[in-house]
Amino acid sequence: MKSVIMELTHPPFGRENTYAALFVGSASVSLGVKVTVVLAGEGVYVGLKGQVDPQGNIDLPSTEQQVRDFMELGGRVVVEEQSLSSRGIFSAELIEGLEVLDSKNVTDLLLDKGDQIMVF
Amino acid sequence: MVAETGLKQTLALVLFSAPYGNQYADHMCRVAERALGKGYSVEIFLYGDAIHSHLIEQKPKNFFNIGEALTRLGDKGATIYSCLICAIARGYMREFDEAKKVYNSPITLPFVKFVTVQGFVSMIKRADRLMMFGSS
């Protein structure tokens, strides 16, 4: 089974990157590819729970729902600890099921576990 | 590039940014050309704003012409895919061929193949190596 790592480095909504990555990520998992999403840098904001748009002002698909759907299909989501702490984000604020790893383990993951790496 | 199995290695290149505003497309095309020269089987996927790379009649005055570069790559055997829903969103698909059940885009370079996300995943599965350009 092919193993793909997708590193998300941008926050949700401001760009198409996150939506596009999770779209391909979910499709890949559902078609038999092992996919790990790594949230690093500004990408850690993708992992926040409670993302809401009550007035519908943004009018974009919910990134939080995309993350939940991706994990429900069998995808793994890892968050880099230092990116969280430097932004004052606590693990309790993250969507349930996300794994927090320190940067050494994230680097090891990138080097050892990905046949293909895509950075969005 | 030939693997120990005797089969050609497949290199997948994903481009995620539009041409000319930066040099990601140039860089990707140059890598693709070199890879073909080294014997790789090259597959290119244009995703998001990168689909503007396959617009016909590009005439940059001073920049590396991405349309011409993609044409050269296609002539040399690279397979070039474009994201169908990205193209629909950006107004590239003008006609739907009822008989063939496919969209036609009269403003797209003729060798480009439009595929859904399943086509993207199929490329991932085929690829021995994958490089991505232009997501920053």
Q: What is the pLDDT of residues A30-40, one digit of tens each?
A: 999 999 999 99
**Which of A2, A16, A116 is opposite residue B48, by nearest beta carbon?**
A16
**Which of A28, A33, A120 is opposite residue B135, by nearest beta carbon?**
A120
Q: How confident is the model at residue B102 (pLDDT cuts 50, 70, 90)?
A: confident
CB contact under 8 A, B117 and A16: no
- For chain B, domains (ranges, CATH) are 10-133 (3.40.1260.10)
Q: How far apart are CA B17 and CA B135, in angstroms?
A: 7
Contact between B131 and B32 under an 8 Å Cβ cutoff? The reply is: no
pLDDT of B32 reads 97
Mean confidence (pLDDT) of chain B: 93
* Correct CATH for A3-119 of 3.40.50.970, 3.40.1260.10, 3.60.140.10, 3.40.50.2300: 3.40.1260.10
Using a CB–CB cutoff of 8 Å, tell me whether B89 touches chain A. Answer: no
Which of chain B's residues have a Cβ under 8 Å away from the Cβ of A117? 130, 132
Q: Chain A neighbours among B 23-82 (CB < 8 Å)?
A: 47-49
Q: Is A119 helix (H, G, I), strand (E, B) or coil?
A: strand
Is the pLDDT at B5 greater than 80? The verdict is: no
Residues of chain A with pLDDT under 70: none
Q: How far apart are CA B109 and CA B72, in angstroms?
A: 11
Residue A79, both tokens: 């968050």
Which of chain A's residues have a Cβ under 8 Å away from the Cβ of B129? 116
pLDDT of A114 reads 84
Q: How confident is the model at residue B4 (pLDDT cuts 50, 70, 90)?
A: low
Is the pLDDT at B61 greater than 80? The verdict is: yes
Q: What is the ipTM of this complex?
A: 0.81
**Which of B12, B16, B117 is opposite residue A27, by nearest beta carbon?**
B117
**Which of A16, A33, A119 is opposite residue B121, by nearest beta carbon?**
A33
- The most distant pair of C-alpha atoms in chain A lies apart, rounded to whole Å, by 44
Using a CB–CB cutoff of 8 Å, tell me whether B119 touches chain A. Answer: no
Q: Please name the residues in contact with B125: beta carbons below 8 A apart, sequence gap of 6 or more.
A: A2, A31, A32, A33
Q: Please name the residues in contact with A37: beta carbons below 8 A apart, sequence gap of 6 or more.
A: A5, A6, A7, A8, A21, A22, A25, A67, A70, A75, A76, A77, A78
What chain A residue is nearest to B49 in terms of C-alpha separation?
A16
Is the pLDDT at B58 greater than 70? The verdict is: yes
pLDDT of A52 reads 82
The closest alpha carbon to A95, from A60, A117, A62, belongs to A62
CB atoms inside a 10 Å sphere around CB A52: 8
What chain A residue is nearest to B135 in terms of C-alpha separation?
A120
* Burial class of residue A17, CB neighbours in 10 A (0-12, 13-18, 19+): buried
Minimal CA separation from B18 to chain A, in Å:
13
DSSP state of B46: E
Count of CB pairs separated by less than 8 Å, A with B: 50
